Amino acid sequence: MPDLRTIAEPARAKLNLALHVRHRRPDGYHELETLFAFVEQGDWVRVTAAEADSFTLTGPFAAILAGEGDNLVTRAAARFREAFGGGMHAIELEKHLPVASGIGGGSADAAATLRALAALHGVAIDDPGLFAIADGLGSDVPACLLGRTALGRGRGEQLEPIAGLAGTPVLLVNPGVGVSTAAVFRGWDGVDRGPIGTGDLLDIARAGRNDLEPPARAIAPEIDAVLAALAAQPGVLLARMSGSGATCFALFESDAARDAAAAALAQRGWWRAATRLV
């Protein structure tokens, strides 16, 4: 008899505390060094065994994805079935994260789908087959499947877990513009500005950079205003753009400082989420 439980998995937003682009590879990808971290805020994926496959979108950002049909969630489910079996599923994606925003929304959704299917069908979460599926779905999906602070190399799929800063208050801000990851990478100037350093996570992140910020800001100048506003808030430990943008984040020394910053930016019309690192 099929397991009729509904498995709910969080698809937490991914942050790149630093993102160093080292060079363009012969295969067309870029060699990266990045500090992955995750926050409480995110989407939700719910999976139930069913007689036929179905996919439902809910949540505040559902309408943006409604016309896609094929997406990373349905691809993840199809590839899980090819690798592990498990039959048909009803999948609901509750979409809370902005789309095409540099915080791994689609990648996190795919990874949450894989975790939910693994839980439903008794597959170990560290099964190499799961990570092989994740790697085939996209460069950030393995990190989102791991779901913890890590140093990523290669395309980002070579992961080394490191000590995180769980509980650190974070404010996410998106100016309401989408930017193309491919266009941002095409705009990278090709200069290798050196590797990520060593030491405590916050020190490494502060000494680092996001090499995709300049091309993203050229495409979407709205990012300039977000970064300037975040950096000017009292109690900020680090303000930076995540991934290829346009979402930016700030780490704060206290919940009170983060909440005051969120209130100060309330009139800008930007999407905001007050959260914490996990």
Q: Are 84 and 115 in contact (CB under 8 A)?
A: no
Q: What is the pLDDT of residue 68?
A: 58
Lowest mean per-residue pLDDT among 43-52, 63-72, 154-163: 63-72
Please tell me which residue in 14, 95, 109, 211 is annotated as part of the active site.
Answer: 14
Give the residue-averaged pLDDT of 29-49: 97
Q: What is the set of domains in the chain, with CATH numbers? A: 6-161 (3.30.230.10), 169-276 (3.30.70.890)
Please tell me which residue in 127, 140, 192, 203 is annotated as part of the active site.
Answer: 140
Q: What is the DSSP code (8-state) at residue 245?
A: S
Give the residue-averaged pLDDT of 268-272: 96
Mean pLDDT of the chain: 95
Q: Are 26 and 3 in contact (CB under 8 A)?
A: no
Q: Are 106 and 59 in contact (CB under 8 A)?
A: no
Is 95 marked active-site? no
Q: What is the pLDDT of residue 270?
A: 97
Residue pLDDT, tens place only, 223-260: 999 999 999 999 999 999 999 999 999 999 999 999 99
Is 3 marked active-site? no
Would you call 250 helix, strand, or coil by DSSP? strand
The answer on pLDDT for 69 being more than 90 is no
Q: What is the pLDDT of residue 117?
A: 98
